[in-house]
Structure 1
Amino acid sequence: MASLSTAAGERASIEAFRRDVLDASMDALVILQFTAEWCGPCKALNPILDKVAADYADKGVRRVAVDVDKNQTIAAQFRIQSVPTIYAIFQGQPVADLTPARTEPQLKQYLDQILAQLPIGAGAEAAGAADIEPLIEAAQAALAEGAYEEAHRIFTALAAEVPERMDVVAGIARALIGLGRIEEAQGVMAGVPEDAKDAGVAQARASLALAKEATPVDDLDGLRARSAAAPDDLALRYELAGGLMARGDHDAAADELLESIRIDRTWNEGAARDRLLKLFEAVGLEDPWVMATRRKLSTILFS
């Protein structure tokens, strides 16, 4: 009966080890300490290990102690010759021998080096960020190409993963603006903090401002003809620029605004220049088109 009881206890210990160490290490780093009740150095290490494990818990670290006298099969599997013996376990395998570390700073140095190389805790966040960046680039490229449905799809999917990323939220708004869904874009941007400094947020806000004032024109060709017949009518040029922007023709819109500035930069309190600067911000201040058009503006202003 005693042997049956011992066998049952051993099975329970092995099952607990599988659950608390092997299974847990699939997505965490387990500090596995082999110890014994009679081991003085083990007792001295316990509070240090407890503190370090608590400090690193939010980074995906947990601690498990195994008494070698009560878990002889497990100790034999790990070929434990002395205690304390301490391993770092990840995905069921020892990835480092922590036994030489006997102080808190030494243990933390070991853990920092290990975690930097494994996809857990801060490492997982970095890996996640690395996975997300190509998707953000793809969504931005879709925006630049006018593929607003595709950009909206990608940015919306990303928002479920990284809702705190303001560039992703702004990307959704910009895609909606491109699709003509202005009120939805306004709703999205309403949730963005006023002090958000992200460049994408600035672009989205400028795009929204332009969308509100750049009214689509039903007979754009007719308006173009009237403006050509009255080249000094800056109100017509301003209306034409708005219609062109509403259609997404930034080149033609910028040409009209630049010509208006050349004729009279002070017209309507500099409205043409203000609209052109909003267009720059909506497209992106680092965009090659913006930099080239800005040079044209400087030539007019300083000639």
Structure 2
Amino acid sequence: MASMGLNLEEQKAVDRFRQDVVEPSMTKLVILDFWAEWCGPCKALTPVLEKIAAEYADKGVVLAKVNVDEEAFIASQFQVRSIPTVYALFQGQPVADLTNARSESQLRGVIDQLLAKLPIQAGDAPAADIAPLLAMGEEVLAEGDGERAAGIFAQIVELAPENAEAHGGLLRALILAGHLDEAEAALAALDPALSGDPVIERARTALALAKDKPDDGELAALRAAAAERPGDMDAQLAYAGAAFAAGERDEAAQKLLAMIQADREWNEGAAKAKLLQMFEAIGLEDPWVAATRRKLSTILFG
């Protein structure tokens, strides 16, 4: 991808794409999925792509996702006109358009053909021995027991220090348990090779939001200001962020959705950006996130 004449943000986007997509594609077959939070068909396709990528991981297939709202410049370079758009990339070049291959059997057929033709380097099989532990940790996290989840993920980190999911789970568990300083220290000490992984980015986002947690007096003051000045977007945004950090998800989402409905372009879409940040911190598979995303889609696309 050419980088001459780009502004700073475009250059950063290109650098991210090179690191996350182009470099892995030098030896692997990368399934490149262009998607967005509000896209219903994308949400239906995602589990299919994830399943196929996991099934073919030991054959050198990896999945890379590009959010078209966050990486509009990259999407424009690929001339993405609708989503989901899915390509297979090898050595930095598209080798197949997988957009119309929506079923598992169709995807397997195309990928099998590509693997037979291209010099893909097979990957290592997933570490099946820690998979049950990871699932257990996520289940305990979903139950809201941060202390217990932290203990589980700490054990997994000892068993597999190179596993990004284990580190991400530990960070999120520490945050849930209120050990923000410990989470921040663990994040700072993380191997640079893991720090850019999406699961670590999710934990980093969760930590940034959690650090905004106010004390009871501050929260009450922000709530009062938002109630007294319903037209003051800054006051609404400040209260929404504080409410989320204090564990009041529904209240935070209600304020942000109302802001988006009133003026979705205010402050360059700050309300939507904050809501998407909350989604990322919690995890897209969370039922609350799924329900709130439906409400967002209704506002945006009616």
Q: Which residue matches 1:4?
A: none
Q: Which residue matches 1:142?
A: 140
- State the Cα distance separating 1:196 from its structure 2 match: 5.8
In the alignment, residue 176 of structure 1 is paired with which amino acid? Answer: L
Equivalent-residue separation in structure 2 for 1:260 and 1:229 (angstroms): 15
Structure 1 unaligned blocks of 5 or more: 1-124
1:246-270 Cα offsets, whole Å, 9 max, x none, are: 1122222111111111122222222
Secondary structure of 2:284's partner?
coil
Equivalent-residue separation in structure 2 for 1:195 and 1:134 (angstroms): 21
Q: Which residue matches 1:35?
A: none
Equivalent-residue separation in structure 1 for 2:207 and 2:220 (angstroms): 25
Distance 1:194 1:218, change over 3 A: farther
Equivalent-residue separation in structure 2 for 1:158 and 1:195 (angstroms): 15
Q: Which residue matches 1:281?
A: 280
Equivalent-residue separation in structure 2 for 1:223 and 1:299 (angstroms): 28
Equivalent-residue separation in structure 1 for 2:237 and 2:166 (angstroms): 32
Distance 1:223 1:185, change over 3 A: same
Q: Say which one has the larger Rg.
A: 1
TM-score in terms of structure 2 length? 0.53
- Of the two structures, which has the highest relative contact order with CA contacts closer than 8 Å and spacing of 6 or more? 2
In the alignment, which of 154, 168, 176 is matched to residue 156 of structure 1? 154
1:112-155 Cα offsets, whole Å, 9 max, x none, are: xxxxxxxxxxxxx98x9444222211211121222110011111
Distance 1:180 1:168, change over 3 A: same
Q: Which residue matches 1:231?
A: 230
Q: Which residue matches 1:254?
A: 253
Q: Aligned pair 1:266/2:242, yes or no?
A: no
Secondary structure of 1:163's partner?
coil
- State the Cα distance separating 1:289 from its structure 2 match: 2.1
Q: Which residue matches 1:47?
A: none
Do 1:217 and 1:243's aligned partners in 2 also have CA atoms closer than 8 Å? no
Equivalent-residue separation in structure 2 for 1:273 and 1:251 (angstroms): 15
- State the Cα distance separating 1:199 from its structure 2 match: 4.4
Equivalent-residue separation in structure 2 for 1:218 and 1:188 (angstroms): 28
Equivalent-residue separation in structure 1 for 2:239 and 2:192 (angstroms): 34
Secondary structure of 2:214's partner?
coil
Equivalent-residue separation in structure 2 for 1:198 and 1:141 (angstroms): 21
In the alignment, residue 293 of structure 2 is paired with which amino acid? Answer: R
1:218-266 Cα offsets, whole Å, 9 max, x none, are: 2334432332232212222112112211112222211111111112222
RMSD across aligned positions (CA): 2.5
- State the Cα distance separating 1:291 from its structure 2 match: 2.2
Q: Which residue matches 2:203?
A: 204
TM-score in terms of structure 1 length? 0.52
Equivalent-residue separation in structure 2 for 1:193 and 1:255 (angstroms): 37
Equivalent-residue separation in structure 2 for 1:215 and 1:270 (angstroms): 23
Do 1:227 and 1:236's aligned partners in 2 also have CA atoms closer than 8 Å? yes
Q: Which residue matches 2:172?
A: 174
In the alignment, residue 138 of structure 1 is paired with which amino acid? Answer: M
Q: Which residue matches 1:133?
A: 131
Equivalent-residue separation in structure 2 for 1:183 and 1:140 (angstroms): 22
Do 1:223 and 1:236's aligned partners in 2 also have CA atoms closer than 8 Å? yes
Equivalent-residue separation in structure 2 for 1:283 and 1:296 (angstroms): 17
- State the Cα distance separating 1:164 from its structure 2 match: 1.1
Do 1:152 and 1:176's aligned partners in 2 also have CA atoms closer than 8 Å? yes
Do 1:176 and 1:182's aligned partners in 2 also have CA atoms closer than 8 Å? yes
Equivalent-residue separation in structure 1 for 2:192 and 2:269 (angstroms): 29
Matches within 5 A, 1:34-73: none
Equivalent-residue separation in structure 2 for 1:199 and 1:286 (angstroms): 14
Secondary structure of 1:146's partner?
coil
